[in-house]
Amino acid sequence: MTQSSKPKSKLRAAILGASGYTGAELIRLLQRHPHVEIVLITADRKAGQPIEAVFPHLGGEGLPDLIAISDIEWAGLELDVVFCALPHATSQRIIKGILHETGHGFIDEMIIEQTEDYANAIHGSVKVIDLSADFRLRDADTYEQWYGGKHDALSLQKEAVYGLSEHYREDIKKARLVACPGCYPTAALLALIPLMSEKAIKKDGTIIDAKSGVTGAGRSLKESNLFTEVSEAMHPYGIASHRHAPEIEQELSRAYGDDLLVTFTPHLIPMNRGELETIYVNLEDGKTADDLRDILKKQYQNEKFVTVLDEKIVPATRNVRGSNNTQIAVFEDRVPGRAIIIAVIDNLVKGSSGQAIQNMNLMFGYEETLGLEQMALFP
């Protein structure tokens, strides 16, 4: 199947690393996609278990049992799309094996012994959607600085398309590897890219005060994520050192046409899911908050998943919970020459698995909203 050909009635999909929250959301959403069949689910620590043993809410769907990556019998799978929800560094090694530079699939020999017939197991047209951070940063030195190790798949890093659907749609359609943005960058970039592109705000002095539900910290056992550590409290983390900062700066610098830095501080708040970012910007001379709102409304007027609210209407995470939707609002600051922008998303859907499926739809020529039609869950 070529990139321009019509997709099959059912895509054969694999989810690698399915025991986390993003993996569960991928399964939940893909099971209602009319053109996707999940044929492979991996989770090394939960290998051998049925999915309902890990996520009871996903039982009764006829899904395959979880297996370890090293136990996959690749021959005959004929995969069309692979969602990679593995940790950074691990993800790049696996994807390097799937997307060999010859265009034929093989598994990295560090993961499983290469066999002669593996080239028949995964076709050259297989597409990969990575939910880790491994292919988000375009500069290898920046990746090494922020993630503590050299990148092991530099040719793929250069090839990967940044998966912010609303802004890189045409590139995503032609890609075989898409790097889904982080949850914090998704909300910030949807709010700021149009304004930077139009030079409506100054490149310096942007402050992003971001807050996320506890699922943003992952599902692995951590003392800081215990109920008694999180409940009835809120705390910042990654102060001036969070790995999403260079990702945000990379895309905003590209939009503005010049290098820039932002002040970015994330916070963990005592709720399961949801993300709210309060963004403070310096207006360019002669620009007003109303101008910013008009630019955003024009940019997103035909977008299904982004809504720019009218003046004085305040976004809330409950308005997008469980959906792939984004709400953005602009307010005039009391400080002359500044504006306040509020953006909300569900960190597990638009900030992760939902955007991944939106990108899959683009890559395979489906209607962009397929599998993502659910409205927000309220209250």
- Residues known to be catalytic: 183
Residues 6 or more apart in contact with residue 335 via CB below 8 angstroms: none
CA distances from 85 to 5, 6, 68, 74, 352 (A): 27, 27, 14, 18, 10
Rounded to a whole number of angstroms, the CA Rg of the chain reads 21
Task: Give dist(CA 123, CA 293) in Å, integer.
Answer: 46
Question: What length does the chain have?
Answer: 379
| 3-state secondary structure (DSSP) of residue 221 | coil
Sign of CA dihedral 78, 81, 86, 91: positive
Cβ neighbour number for residue 319 with a 10 Å cutoff: 18
CA distances from 270 to 214, 230, 233, 267, 344 (A): 7, 6, 7, 10, 16
| 3-state secondary structure (DSSP) of residue 88 | coil
Q: What is the largest CA-CA distance in the chain?
A: 68
Question: 362: which 2 tokens?
Answer: 């683009």
Contact between residue 161 and residue 179 where contact means Cβ atoms under 8 Å apart: yes
Torsion, Cα 185 189 192 197, to 10 degrees, reads 140
